[in-house]
Amino acid sequence: MALDRVVAEPILELEGISKSYGGVKALTDVSLTLRPGEVVALVGDNGAGKSTLVKTMAGVVKPDKGRYTFEGKNVSINGPSDASDLGIQTVYQDLSLCNNLDAVQNLFLGREQTLPWWRGGRIQRAECEVRARQVLRKLRLDSIALDRNVGAMSGGQRQNIAIARSILWEPKVVLLDEPTAALSHSAAEQVGVLIRELAAHGLAVLVISHDIHHFVIDVTDRIEVLRLGQNAASFSSKDVTGERVVNAMVGGEEGINSAG
Amino acid sequence: MSSADQGLETTFKATAKRSIADRLANELRFVPVAVGLLALFIFFATQSEVFLTSRNLNNLMIQSTVTGIIALGLVFVLLTGEIDLSVAGTSGVASVFMAKLVVDFGAPVGVAVFAGVMCGVLIGAASGRWITLIGVPSFVVTLGVGLVLNGVQLMILPRTGRYNLLNTGVDEIASTTISGTGAWIIFAVAVGAVSWVRWSSYHARKSQRLPASFGQMVLLPVAIIGGSLLVLVLVLSSLKGLPMPIILFLGLLGGCAYLTGETRFGLYLYAIGNSAEAARRAGINVNRIKIAAFAIAGGLAAFAGILAASRILGVSVSSGGGIGGGALLLESIAAAVIGGVSLFGGRGRIVGVLFGAMIIATVSNGLNLMGVANEARLIVTGLLLVLAVSIDRGIEKIAGPS
């Protein structure tokens, strides 16, 4: 396709990744490529291996076999901090936000700027807030009230804060686990706009989603289908229908897998 | 359209529009308790002519200091979603240990007090380490630790069951009063510290060109705190001066408020109390923060025990509330909870402890003046606790989920 020739060099490549838990094969010989500026959907039925693959990229799961290449170099990832050091950030489905803290406190949690202890050790709230405003504005999220507890915010706003937090320290790759699950249609649309914004800023984005017909087709550039722990199909989102993607997920004509 | 050239000042305008319920559930959480305290004051003032005299107010505040200091430490533990039921036991053991060092070994008062406080810190840190290492619920561990401490207290007491601290120097801690110029220097230091903290927050926002209101951020809090302290100093100066227990309680209160409200450690207490998992994923060493919280609770409890020993001129089997912590333990927890600190973690402010401890002392003192028997005092305190938590819950519901 014409699109493939103009896109950038891959930033993250997985080749021949296999992982089993006891006798159960979660992933068999799976490959995946992410490029800057591109949004890739990772779809598949329950148990297809999507989460295991994302956790492999995030350094939470160590694969039994396979090659992990980042910016053209072979890397060995031994934990989540290795992945985040490379510039890979993950937003998990439960968002990991603290509901009793406000947006700025959540954005900077664990990474606050403070004065040295001999000057009182205070958190430099103003500096954090300026930075938060810049990032949120860049992502067109100006409507978020910075000093409100995130527990009092809508699901879409919370999701957006979780995503904004992942990009606060300028990563190169963002992995999103089900960002639109449990969101209303309009909230999911807002999140979709934000994801496009990330790609427009040159990030490589991977999204796990079940919302094939709306979210995946509309927001992503490419769709990678996993089935029973293996690569089943790859589509360009432009010229595919939801039906074809779902068929690839369940492995054949309509109805066959749903019966058994 | 003009949306492209909006400045930082005009965007994020939702910041200013927060409902009163929302603010009551957060930074103004102490307001209902303060109103409750005021109502109690008015009620008792109409019931007893003695109640509003300087002498009585002086006694009332001194009564609240031991419970209050234990409650201050408890807040650190409660914020992380844990509880420490051994604080009363810790205060008992630490005070007996301190007395033993002074009476049996002739240790200097300063050394003995320091050793007693460190003993509390170690007990708290050990409980915290055990809780985080094994993952046993803190109420079970600290319940057990409390009983162990009661046993230890009986063991280290002499056969008479009592150490007398009269004329040992320990008694001077609680009996010291500061009057005249000294009192006004303390007043100036306190107001200066509050002003500096508030002003530097305001100044940091201003210099970053963030919206900041001088009235709300500096003037109002400094006026309220400064005004209250002014009244306090005037009232107490009409007697012998500022009693040391009150100075110590308010000083520790300020220090704890700074630690929980302004520092990273304090923020992490709140984060852990809401979601330990989220805190862990953000790179916070959850266990270390929890152990530190228990250590602070132990240290403050020990200090409160020493202060109590100094006031009543001795330690005995009933130091630290007696077996199981008794009324001392329950009233310390009640002071924190009435002050708006949640038992489920992540909610509440240090300043609430001041009001919580004062309410408990006021009920006790006021009913005493009215000649009401002790059993009524317990019933009223218990009902106030239930009422305070219910009001808190109501505000939370109106303010929305959090």
Contact B15/A at CB under 8 A: yes
What b/e string do you get for B80-112 counting C-beta neighbours within 10 Å, with b at 16 or more?
bbbbbbbbbbbbbbbbbbbbbbbbeeebebeeb
Q: Given an 8 Å threshold on Cβ–Cβ distance, is A109 in contact with B271?
A: yes
Q: Given an 8 Å threshold on Cβ–Cβ distance, is A98 in contact with B271?
A: yes
Estimate to the nearest angstrom the gap between the alpha carbon of B196 and the chain centroid.
22
- When pLDDT is cut at 50, 70 and 90, the band that residue B72 belongs to is very high
What b/e string do you get for A220-236 counting C-beta neighbours within 10 Å, with b at 16 or more?
bbbbbbbbebbbbbebe
Q: Is the pLDDT of residue B398 over 80?
A: no
Beta strands in B254-402 (DSSP E): 314-316
A151: which chain B residues are within 8 Å (Cβ-Cβ)? Answer: 400-402
Q: What is the CA radius of gyration of chain A?
A: 19
Element (H, E) at A173: strand A173-177
A92: which chain B residues are within 8 Å (Cβ-Cβ)? Answer: 281
pLDDT at residue number B378: 84
Estimate to the nearest angstrom the gap between the alpha carbon of A175 and the chain centroid.
2
Q: Given an 8 Å threshold on Cβ–Cβ distance, is B18 in contact with A149?
A: no
pLDDT at residue number B95: 97
Q: Given an 8 Å threshold on Cβ–Cβ distance, is B274 in contact with A146?
A: no
Contact B207/A at CB under 8 A: yes
What b/e string do you get for B185-223 counting C-beta neighbours within 10 Å, with b at 16 or more?
ebbeebbeebbebbebbbebbeebebebeeeebbeeebe
Token pair in block for residue B200: 């530097």
pLDDT tens, B342-353? 988 999 999 999
Give the length of chain A: 260
Nearest CA in chain B to A129: B210
Q: Given an 8 Å threshold on Cβ–Cβ distance, is A142 in contact with B12?
A: yes
Contact A122/B at CB under 8 A: yes
A145: which chain B residues are within 8 Å (Cβ-Cβ)? Answer: 12, 14-15, 17-18
Interface of B with A in 208-247 (CB under 8 A): 208, 210
Q: Given an 8 Å threshold on Cβ–Cβ distance, is B282 in contact with A110?
A: yes
Distance, CA of A139 to CA of A46 (rounded, Å): 32
3-class SS of residue B240: coil
pLDDT tens, B243-273? 999 999 999 999 999 999 999 999 999 999 9
Mutate to test the interface with A, among B80, B275, B398 (most CBs of A within 10 A): B275
Q: What is the CA radius of gyration of chain B?
A: 22
Q: Given an 8 Å threshold on Cβ–Cβ distance, is A110 in contact with B273?
A: no
Distance, CA of B110 to CA of B310 (rounded, Å): 13
Distance, CA of B297 to CA of B338 (rounded, Å): 18
pLDDT at residue number A92: 86
pLDDT at residue number A67: 93
- When pLDDT is cut at 50, 70 and 90, the band that residue B39 belongs to is very high
Q: What letter represents residue A60's amino acid?
A: V
Contact A113/B at CB under 8 A: no
- Of the CA atoms within 13 Å of residue B97, those in its CB half-sphere come to 24
pLDDT at residue number B56: 94
Give the distance from residue A178's alpha carbon to the nearest chain B alpha carbon, in angstroms: 17
Give the distance from residue A142's alpha carbon to the nearest chain B alpha carbon, in angstroms: 6
Mutate to test the interface with B, among A100, A129, A168, A177 (most CBs of B within 10 A): A100
A152: which chain B residues are within 8 Å (Cβ-Cβ)? Answer: 22, 399-402
Distances (CA, A) of B209 to A148, B3, B8: 20, 20, 8
Q: Which of B267, B284, B264 is nearest to B276 (CA)?
A: B284
Contact A144/B at CB under 8 A: yes
CATH architecture of A2-87+171-259: 3-Layer(aba) Sandwich (3.40)
Q: Given an 8 Å threshold on Cβ–Cβ distance, is A98 in contact with B207?
A: no
pLDDT tens, B362-387? 999 999 999 888 888 888 888 988 98
Who contacts B120 (Cβ-Cβ below 8 Å, separation ≥6)?
Answer: B90, B91, B94, B298, B299, B300, B301, B302, B303, B305
Nearest CA in chain B to A97: B278
Give the distance from residue A94's alpha carbon to the nearest chain B alpha carbon, in angstroms: 9
Distance, CA of B399 to CA of B64 (rounded, Å): 31
Q: Given phi > 0 = left and psi -120 to 50 = alpha, else beta, which region is A92? A: beta
Residue B219 DSSP code: I
Give the distance from residue B314's alpha carbon to the nearest chain A alpha carbon, in angstroms: 37
**Burial environment of residue B39 by CB neighbours within 10 A (0 to 12, 13 to 18, 19 or more):** exposed
Beta strands in B182-275 (DSSP E): 242-243
Report CA torsion sign: A210, A211, A215, A221. positive
Give the distance from residue B84's alpha carbon to the nearest chain A alpha carbon, in angstroms: 22
ipTM of the shown complex:
0.87
- When pLDDT is cut at 50, 70 and 90, the band that residue B18 belongs to is low
pLDDT in tens, chain A (260 residues): 444 445 578 999 999 999 999 888 999 999 999 999 999 999 999 889 999 999 999 988 899 999 999 999 999 988 888 898 899 999 988 888 999 999 999 999 988 989 998 888 999 999 999 999 988 888 888 888 888 889 888 888 998 899 899 888 789 999 999 998 878 888 888 889 999 999 998 999 999 998 888 889 899 999 999 999 999 999 998 888 888 998 888 886 443 343 33
Nearest CA in chain A to B282: A110
Nearest CA in chain B to A94: B278
pLDDT at residue number A80: 82
Distance, CA of B384 to CA of B167 (rounded, Å): 39
Token pair in block for residue B344: 């489920």
Q: What is A131-148 written as a DSSP string?
A: HHHHHHHHTT-TTS-TTS
pLDDT at residue number A170: 86
Contact A93/B at CB under 8 A: no
Give the distance from residue A213's alpha carbon to the nearest chain B alpha carbon, in angstroms: 32
Q: What is B155-205 written as a DSSP string?
A: HHS-TTSEEE-TTSSTHHHHH-EE-THHHHHHHHHHHHHHHHHHHHHHHHH
Q: Given an 8 Å threshold on Cβ–Cβ distance, is B274 in contact with A137?
A: no
Helix boundaries (H) for B104-170: 109-134, 138-156
pLDDT at residue number B372: 87
Distance, CA of B371 to CA of B366 (rounded, Å): 9
**How confident is the prediction for chain B on average, in pLDDT?**
90
Q: Is the pLDDT of residue B400 over 80?
A: no
Q: What are phi and psi of B179, to 5 degrees?
A: -130, 175
pLDDT tens, B195-221? 999 999 999 999 999 988 999 899 999
Who contacts B133 (Cβ-Cβ below 8 Å, separation ≥6)?
Answer: B287
Give the distance from residue A82's alpha carbon to the nearest chain B alpha carbon, in angstroms: 13
Q: Tell me if B388 sits within 8 A of B338, measured CB to CB.
A: yes
pLDDT tens, B273-301? 999 989 988 889 999 999 999 999 999 99
pLDDT at residue number B90: 98
Token pair in block for residue A258: 């749903």
Element (H, E) at A8: none
Q: Given an 8 Å threshold on Cβ–Cβ distance, is A110 in contact with B279?
A: yes
pLDDT at residue number A31: 95
Distance, CA of B363 to CA of B365 (rounded, Å): 6
Nearest CA in chain A to B262: A122
Contact B204/A at CB under 8 A: yes
Which of B14, B262, B271 lies at the smallest CB-CB distance from A101? Answer: B271
pLDDT at residue number B67: 97
Which of A98, A112, A130 lies at the smallest CB-CB distance from B275? Answer: A98
Q: Tell me if B78 sits within 8 A of B348, measured CB to CB.
A: yes
Which of A95, A137, A147 lies at the smallest CB-CB distance from B15? Answer: A147
Q: Tell me if A181 sits within 8 A of B52, measured CB to CB.
A: no
* Domain parsing of chain B, residue ranges: 29-179+240-396, 180-239
B1: which chain A residues are within 8 Å (Cβ-Cβ)? Answer: none
Q: Is the pLDDT of residue B9 over 60?
A: no
Distance, CA of A227 to CA of B390 (rounded, Å): 52
Q: Given an 8 Å threshold on Cβ–Cβ distance, is B264 in contact with A112?
A: yes
